[in-house]
Amino acid sequence: MVLASVLVFCILLLSAQAPARGRRGSVLQSWILSAAAPVASAVSALSRAISEGLDQAGEVLGARAENEKLKKQLGDRDRELFQLRARLAQQQEGERLLAASASVPNVIGAAAVLLVENRAGLQSAVVGAGSAQGVQPGSPIAVPQGLVGRVITVGRSICRAQLLVDASAAAGARIARTGELGVVRGDGRGALRLNNIPTTSSVRPGDVIESAGIDGIYPRGVVIGRVARVARSGNLFLEIRVIPGASFSQLTDVLVLAPSPAVAEGPGGARSGRP
């Protein structure tokens, strides 16, 4: 082993002193460079692979971030488009209502119905108009097909209205064909009853019932509905069921009317408040 070690040392010493081909460095240096070349190539290749991988990972992360940003911008544009379409539809519906409001007097403007409440016979609606739009307590609301109800409380931008089909709602009414006067009351279930019509009346199904203007709330001559059924009972008055002209189950927009002078000037009128 000692001899072999001495022999190897002598070979290395001689190769370090012997010039390599081309007289550039020694034979030992040439051997070392030849042996290290594959390692250097492998390290270089590994370095390039790692660098390319990092670049690709950076590009992927950047693309994901850009994709998320574009998705957010697209979502914002979709929301803006939805809002614009909703506003345009609301404006068009309001214009349609106003154009069809020739049969309804004293119209202040059109407003959207934000919520319809129906519980235990109590039926009301939240309307998207308030004191800022000229709405007052007692202002009637209607659609071109007929009366809807009246405003009972008013906020700045919204109000709450009692619907005519509410169990406690009432309105002075008139049979258009005969001219007889009565009182229309809601039944709390979406229909109306016409009271105080004597058994001697010639009222029949299909007759138009309109507001009489005798209650100091609703204007005269606005359609309320049509007679659906007439029944005779043992008392002095007929039992008359009325189908409303307005579709209370599909209220989306209403016309707000100016309150009658009796409501606007009366000392016992409804107070303004936030619904």
Same domain for 61 and 114, yes or no, is no
Tell me the residue range of the domain where 264 lies: 106-275
Give the DSSP letter of residue 124.
E
Same domain for 136 and 241, yes or no, is yes
Same domain for 62 and 120, yes or no, is no
Same domain for 115 and 91, yes or no, is no
pLDDT given at position 51: 80
Whole-angstrom Cα Rg for the chain: 44
- The CATH number that applies at residue 143 is 2.40.10.340
pTM value is: 0.62
Quote the number of domains for the chain. Answer: 2
Q: Of the given ranges (39-43, 146-150, 244-248), which has the lowest mean pLDDT? A: 39-43
Beta carbons of 225 and 191 less than 8 angstroms apart: no
For residue range 111-164, what is the model confidence (pLDDT) as tens digits?
Answer: 899 999 988 778 999 999 999 989 999 999 999 899 999 999 999 999 999 999
Domain boundary among 76, 99, 122: 99
Q: Quick one: tokens of 229? A: 């059924």
Give me the amino acid identity at 34: S
Domain boundary among 80, 99, 118: 99
Domain boundary among 99, 116, 147: 99
Phi first, then psi, for residue 84 (nearest 5°) are -65, -40
Provide the b/e sequence for 34-58 (b: ≥16 CB within 10 Å): eeeeeeeeeeeeeeeeeeeeeeeee
Same domain for 121 and 83, yes or no, is no
Same domain for 113 and 72, yes or no, is no
Beta carbons of 199 and 237 less than 8 angstroms apart: yes
pLDDT given at position 138: 93
The residue that leads in pLDDT, 78 or 91, is: 78
Rounded CA-CA distance 214/173 in Å is 8
Same domain for 110 and 92, yes or no, is no
Same domain for 118 and 175, yes or no, is yes
The residue that leads in pLDDT, 189 or 274, is: 189
